[in-house]
């Protein structure tokens, strides 16, 4: 089918003696003819990079071309870029792409435009067929992915066999990793965020497939508020590559929502076998949970870099809430009306017992800090010089913070009354 699209472009270019290109709805190049001496820097860059810069893409789309049903002229807002005739490619009522002709002097008359429209109609049929095949394939892969992380071992085993039957990558010598993501849109208005999330994941998946040589691939699954990508590559993804994927996802989602809804991402650990991808999946969404509850981690959380939360978030919520009732901290709360002692204890433990650094952080004299620490020991019955006591208090503080975040999430709130989440992580 790709050859059919290229034939359409080449035939039109020869008939009109003009450079022709076809982009998808996101202004990513699908096919381009040879040059006829009318090319400019934007066309050359588009052919080389298979796309245009995101900012330029937004400026082009801002001219309303996605709503066009007939040809129109587009002035590309970039110095040295020539005007173009844009013919929307549609089939069955769907926008499938754009056919472009450089037309600096408006010399393309009605006959030439009719020829171009006919070519766009043929391209629409080709792209519509491709869309049907793509959607069927995507639905099949998404169903397999969901079963690949099911709780039932037998279902997971069958999903592994089904995925191998797709022959998307070699059965050995591959590394697998899950990138999970979730947004927290205001209650009752999830639809725009759902569309934005799916578009962002598709963009990242497309970018990876274009830049990665076979046998690497990325498969996706989405629902209303969360999505995940399974990366399969012959070499482990580098930190830079993962950072780029996360940046593209976040930037695309932000551009499409523009309402302050945050997308948080979690990166699971590497799996050396497809059978073990379920663990990377669990790790990725535990990391997502950490990013949601602990803002200081940032919007991208990596499994293996979550500190104590990596252990604590594995606990069932009921067990976590129960374990958060640490007797020593309950006793401290009763005597700490303004919570100055609790804050002092947390700062002291987060700074590994470094008195000088803690005093600077709290902006108090060392003598004042020593006095507070002595008072904390009296109220809790713990000795801060003892490792076990310090560990009990430190984990207790983290458990209490997680428990508070869980309780806040369970309480209905409005968009204007969002709860305060955990402020720090050791």
Q: How many angstroms separate the CA atoms of 133 and 215, rounded? A: 20
**Helix, strand counts (H, E) of the chain:** 15, 10
Global pTM value: 0.68
Give the position of tokens 């039957």: 165
CATH of domain 172-303: 3.30.70.270
Per-residue pLDDT of the chain (426 residues; tens, 9 = 90+): 445 899 999 999 999 999 999 999 989 899 999 999 999 999 999 998 888 888 888 899 999 999 999 999 999 888 889 999 999 999 998 999 999 999 988 899 999 999 999 999 999 999 999 999 888 888 999 999 999 999 999 999 999 999 999 888 887 889 999 999 998 765 544 556 888 888 888 888 877 776 665 567 889 998 888 899 999 999 998 999 999 999 999 988 888 887 678 899 999 999 999 999 999 999 999 999 888 888 778 899 999 998 888 888 888 888 888 888 889 988 898 887 667 898 899 899 989 889 999 999 999 999 999 999 999 999 999 999 999 999 989 988 888 888 887 777 666 544 334 433 443 333
**In the β-sheet with 84-91, what is the strand arrangement from edge to edge?**
29-32, 20-23, 94-102, 84-91, 72-74
Q: How many angstroms separate the CA atoms of 402 and 16, rounded? A: 66
Instruction: Report whether CATH 3.40.50.620 matches the domain 317-410.
Output: no
Mutual orientation of helices 153-165 and 110-148 as an angle, nearest 10°? 140
Of 31, 80, 30, 78, nearest in space to 56 by CA: 78
Query: CA angle, corner 270, sides to 268 and 275, nearest 5?
Result: 100
Architecture per CATH, 2-134: 2-Layer Sandwich (3.30)
- Burial profile 346-361: b = 16 or more Cβ within 10 angstroms, e = fewer: bbbbbbeeeeeebbee
The domains of the chain are located at: 2-134, 172-303, 317-410
């Amino acid at each position: 089918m790709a050859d059919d699209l290229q034939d359409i472009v080449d035939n039109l270019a020869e008939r009109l003696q003009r450079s022709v290109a076809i982009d998808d709805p996101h202004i990513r190049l699908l096919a381009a003819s040879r040059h006829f001496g009318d090319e400019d820097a934007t066309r050359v860059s588009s052919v080389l990079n298979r796309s245009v810069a995101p900012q330029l893409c937004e400026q082009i789309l801002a001219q309303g071309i996605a709503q066009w049903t007939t040809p129109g002229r587009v002035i590309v807002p970039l110095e040295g870029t020539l005007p173009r005739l844009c013919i929307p490619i549609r089939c069955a009522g769907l926008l499938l792409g754009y056919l472009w002709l450089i037309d600096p002097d408006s010399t393309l008359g009605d006959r030439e435009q009719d020829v171009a429209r006919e070519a766009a109609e043929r391209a629409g049929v080709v792209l519509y067929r491709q869309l049907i095949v793509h959607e069927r394939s995507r639905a099949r892969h998404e169903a397999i992915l969901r079963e690949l992380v099911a709780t039932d071992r037998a279902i997971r085993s069958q999903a592994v066999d089904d995925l191998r039957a797709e022959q998307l990558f070699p059965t050995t010598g591959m590394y697998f990793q899950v990138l999970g993501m979730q947004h927290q849109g205001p209650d009752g208005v999830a639809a725009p965020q759902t569309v934005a999330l799916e578009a962002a994941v598709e963009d990242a998946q497309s970018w990876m497939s274009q830049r990665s040589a076979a046998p690497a691939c990325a498969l996706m699954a989405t629902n209303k508020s969360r999505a995940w990508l399974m990366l399969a590559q012959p070499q482990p993804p580098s930190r830079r590559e993962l950072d780029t994927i996360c940046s593209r996802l976040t930037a695309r989602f932000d551009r499409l929502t523009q309402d302050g809804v945050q997308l948080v991402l979690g990166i699971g650990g590497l799996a050396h076998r497809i059978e073990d991808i379920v663990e990377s999946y669990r790790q990725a969404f535990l990391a997502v949970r950490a990013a949601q509850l602990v803002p200081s981690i940032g919007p991208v959380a990596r499994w293996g870099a979550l500190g104590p939360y990596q252990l604590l978030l594995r606990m069932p919520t009921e067990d976590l809430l129960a374990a958060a009732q640490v007797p020593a901290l309950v006793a401290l709360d009763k005597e700490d009306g303004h919570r100055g002692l609790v804050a002092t204890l947390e700062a002291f433990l987060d700074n590994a017992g470094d008195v000088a650094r803690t005093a600077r952080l709290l902006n108090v004299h060392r003598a004042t800090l020593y006095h507070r620490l002595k008072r904390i020991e009296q109220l809790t019955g713990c000795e801060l010089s003892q490792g076990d006591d310090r560990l009990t208090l430190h984990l207790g503080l983290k458990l209490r913070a997680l428990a508070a975040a869980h309780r806040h999430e369970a309480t209905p709130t409005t968009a204007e009354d969002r709860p305060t989440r955990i402020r720090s992580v050791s």
